[in-house]
């Protein structure tokens, strides 16, 4: 006979669940509305979803309760709050991209928005917990929603992408459970903090077990963060998905993954086991470099951006490897700035999207498509050029400041070689970003018809691009306030 469990409701700290509850309710509400009223316009769903996201954001920022909640599986510390803010802000910006000029089937369906909100809930659960099981549930909720969202794009390539992502993701989930299982077997707990204590207690013995758990975890998170060699799905999936979703995938799932990686690997690096650090070091360097080199030979802008986002993820893993407070602050600073620039770049691709592949049979956004764009659409070309140089880390645009702070963190923590490798990688990266600029500014246009570049442009999209451009260009004044806020939250949570 089991003992009856008696819990005090107040000790559950239910407000901690409020942000996720808001979105879940929102998603369910959208499904109910769809059942009752058919044929609602996509703008309705978009705006309602954005409103729910904003409510959620308010709940996240306004939360001031204990850091633990709901049977202590929730952990609302500083990094969880910043990560949620990034996730929600990015979602609020990416979702209105559905309001493009041309109509796409997926954006007409209420399910798209419900799934989108469920996905955000999943990501939020990933970051507000240090319980391996809850993280897993969050991860799977988000991933399963995302697979479906990709497939909803309803093109052959989209199905291919969804299936590919799904298969790879299933493998990653397998690795994740295996790793969680090993850690549970070693320590008798699934909470990262308790795993840490247990491992420290017995001096990280048996080492084989710890290493096996770590390797499986790197493999599992590696899929989500697209670290080499688990990155192979990224370009295909990005290519198959619609541009907004691809841009979304390059920002939001990764920040959720970074938080999990941060919680886990910081603890493991502290163990002082040199081997662990070396594994991570190697994966960081290879991810940055290999992705950069592969990006050099891409013929399609979207695939190039996919490889570039892999390389950026490598940079960020570098921050986790360094592990100092400054590095963790750099991680968030980098990602916030990268988010806006990447949002801009993918929105530009979305704007110039044409229903037919006029330029190349195989690719939708080959470089030749952008030939001589400055002569046809000077402003579009200039803004795109700014995004490209910003992604390349060209001062004084946004990503440069993230890179600067990150390399500075590497230098300060005596990771000089890593700093040099990062710097050299920036130099390699500038080539492929510049390739697009070269096509846009230095080549002759293929056709002088501006209209084919504008079929998908609409006012909301232009506003989003304009906003992203303003943030990208004026990043230098945003760095100080961002640094202050991020440093406050990061140090408060002890990272």
Partner 1 sequence: MDHILSLIIFFPFVAGLFGFLVNKDSVRAYGISVSAIEFLLTLVLWVGFDSSNAGYQFVEYTALIPSFGMSYYLGVDGISLFLVILTSLMTMISLIALNIEKDAKNLIISVLFLEMTMVGVFLILDVILFYSFWELSLVPMLYIIGAWGSARRVYAAIKFFLYTFAGSVLMLVGILYMGFLYHEATGIWSFALPDWYLLQIPLQMQLWLFGAFFLAFAIKVPMFPFHTWLPYAHGQAPTIGSIILAAVLLKMGSYGFVRFSLPLFPDASVYFLMPIAIIAIIMVIYGAMVAYAQEDMKQVIAYSSISHMGIVVLGTFAMNAEGITGSIFLMLSHGIVSGALFMLVGVIYDRRHTKLMSEFGGIASVMPNFATIYGIMLMASVGLPLSVGFVGEFLSLVGFYKVNWVMTLMAGSGIILGAVYMLNLYKKSFFGPITHEENRTLKDLNGKELTALIPLVALVVILGVFPKPVLSTIDMSVKKMLSLMEQKAVENDTRDLIINVNSIGGKR
Where do contacts with partner 1 occur on this chain (CB under 8 A)? Answer: 374-375, 378, 389, 394-396, 400, 404-405, 407-408, 411-412, 416, 419-420, 423-424, 426-427, 430-431, 434, 437-438, 441-443, 476-477, 479-480, 483-484, 487
- Give the DSSP per-residue string, 322-367: H-SHHHHHHHHHHHHHHHHHHHHHHHHHHHT--SS--S-SS-SSBG
Q: For 217-286, give the secondary structure using H, E and C.
A: HHHHHHHHHCCCCCCCHHHHHHHHCCHHHHHHHHHHHHHHHHHHHHHHHHHHHHCCCHHHHHHHHHHHHH
Min. distance of Cβ 131 from partner 1 in angstroms? Answer: 34
Measured from the CB atom, the residue of 27 and 285 that comes closer to partner 1 is 285
- Give the DSSP per-residue string, 454-467: -TT--HHHHHHHHH
Measured from the CB atom, the residue of 354 and 375 that comes closer to partner 1 is 375
Half-sphere exposure (Cβ direction) of 437: Cα atoms closer than 13 Å: 15
Three-state DSSP at 70 gives coil
* Residue 402 to residue 387: CA distance in whole angstroms: 15
- Count of C-beta atoms within a 10 Å radius of residue 321: 22
Measured from the CB atom, the residue of 246 and 440 that comes closer to partner 1 is 440
Min. distance of Cβ 374 from partner 1 in angstroms? Answer: 7
Measured from the CB atom, the residue of 378 and 494 that comes closer to partner 1 is 378
Measured from the CB atom, the residue of 1 and 379 that comes closer to partner 1 is 379
Measured from the CB atom, the residue of 192 and 421 that comes closer to partner 1 is 421
Min. distance of Cβ 409 from partner 1 in angstroms? Answer: 9
Q: Kindly report the backbone phi and psi dihedral angles of residue 70, in degrees, each rounded to the nearest multiple of 5, phi listed first.
A: 50, 80
* Residue 386 to residue 163: CA distance in whole angstroms: 35
* Residue 101 to residue 26: CA distance in whole angstroms: 26
Min. distance of Cβ 480 from partner 1 in angstroms? Answer: 5
Give the Cα-Cα-Cα angle 422, 427, 431 (nearest 5 degrees): 135
Q: Judge whether 306 and 234 are in contact, CB under 8 Å.
A: yes
Measured from the CB atom, the residue of 192 and 374 that comes closer to partner 1 is 374
Min. distance of Cβ 317 from partner 1 in angstroms? Answer: 19
Exposed / middle / buried, residue 37 (Cβ in 10 Å: 0-12, 13-18, 19+): exposed
State the virtual CA torsion across 180, 183, 189, 194 in degrees, nearest 10.
-110
Min. distance of Cβ 166 from partner 1 in angstroms? Answer: 39
Measured from the CB atom, the residue of 114 and 301 that comes closer to partner 1 is 301
Min. distance of Cβ 381 from partner 1 in angstroms? Answer: 11
Measured from the CB atom, the residue of 104 and 441 that comes closer to partner 1 is 441
Pick from 139, 144, 149, 141: nearest CA to 95: 149
Measured from the CB atom, the residue of 425 and 493 that comes closer to partner 1 is 425
């Amino acid at each position: 006979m089991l003992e009856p469990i008696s819990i005090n409701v107040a000790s559950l700290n239910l407000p901690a669940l409020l942000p996720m509850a808001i979105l879940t309710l929102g998603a369910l509400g959208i499904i109910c509305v769809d059942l009752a009223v058919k044929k609602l316009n996509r703008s309705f769903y978009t705006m309602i979803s954005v409103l729910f996201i904003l409510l959620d954001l308010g709940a996240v920022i306004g939360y001031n309760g204990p850091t633990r909640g709901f049977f202590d599986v929730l952990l609302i510390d500083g990094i969880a709050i910043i990560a949620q803010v990034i996730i929600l802000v990015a979602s609020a910006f990416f979702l209105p991209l559905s309001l493009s000029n041309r109509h796409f089937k997926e954006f007409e369906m209420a399910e798209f928005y419900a799934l989108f909100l469920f996905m955000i809930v999943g990501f939020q659960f990933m970051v507000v917990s240090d319980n391996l099981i809850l993280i897993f549930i969050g991860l799977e909720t988000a991933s399963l929603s995302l697979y479906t969202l990709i497939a909803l794009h309803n093109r052959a390539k989209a199905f291919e992408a969804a299936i590919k992502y799904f298969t790879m993701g299933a493998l990653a989930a397998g690795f994740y459970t295996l790793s969680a299982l090993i850690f549970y077997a070693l320590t008798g707990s699934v909470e990262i903090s308790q795993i840490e204590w247990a491992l420290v207690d017995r001096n990280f013995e048996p080492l084989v077990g710890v290493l096996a758990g770590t390797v499986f975890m790197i493999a599992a998170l590696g899929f989500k963060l697209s670290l080499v060699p688990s990155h192979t799905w990224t370009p295909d999936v990005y290519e198959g998905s619609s541009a907004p979703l691809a841009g979304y995938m390059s920002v939001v799932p990764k920040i959720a993954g970074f938080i999990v990686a941060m919680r886990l690997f910081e603890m493991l690096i502290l163990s002082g086991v040199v081997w662990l650090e070396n594994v991570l070091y190697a994966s960081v360097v290879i991810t940055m470099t290999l992705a950069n080199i592969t990006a050099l030979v891409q013929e399609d802008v979207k695939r190039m951006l996919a490889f570039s986002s892999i390389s950026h993820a490598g940079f960020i893993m570098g921050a986790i490897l360094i592990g100092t407070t400054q590095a963790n602050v750099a991680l968030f600073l980098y990602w916030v700035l990268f988010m806006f620039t990447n949002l801009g770049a993918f929105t530009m691709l979305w704007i110039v999207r044409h229903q037919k592949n006029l330029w190349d049979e195989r690719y939708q956004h080959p470089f030749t498509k952008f030939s001589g764009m400055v002569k046809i659409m000077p402003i579009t070309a200039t803004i795109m050029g700014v995004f490209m140089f910003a992604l390349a880390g060209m001062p004084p645009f946004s990503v440069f400041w993230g890179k600067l702070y990150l390399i500075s963190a590497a230098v300060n923590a005596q990771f000089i070689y890593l700093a040099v490798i990062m710097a050299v990688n920036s130099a390699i990266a500038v080539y492929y970003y510049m390739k697009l600029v070269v096509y846009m500014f230095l080549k002759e246009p293929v056709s002088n018809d501006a209209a084919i570049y504008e079929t998908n442009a609409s006012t909301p999209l232009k506003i989003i691009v304009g906003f992203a451009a303003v943030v990208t260009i004026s990043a230098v004044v945003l760095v100080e306030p961002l640094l202050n806020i991020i440093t406050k939250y990061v140090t408060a949570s002890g990272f």
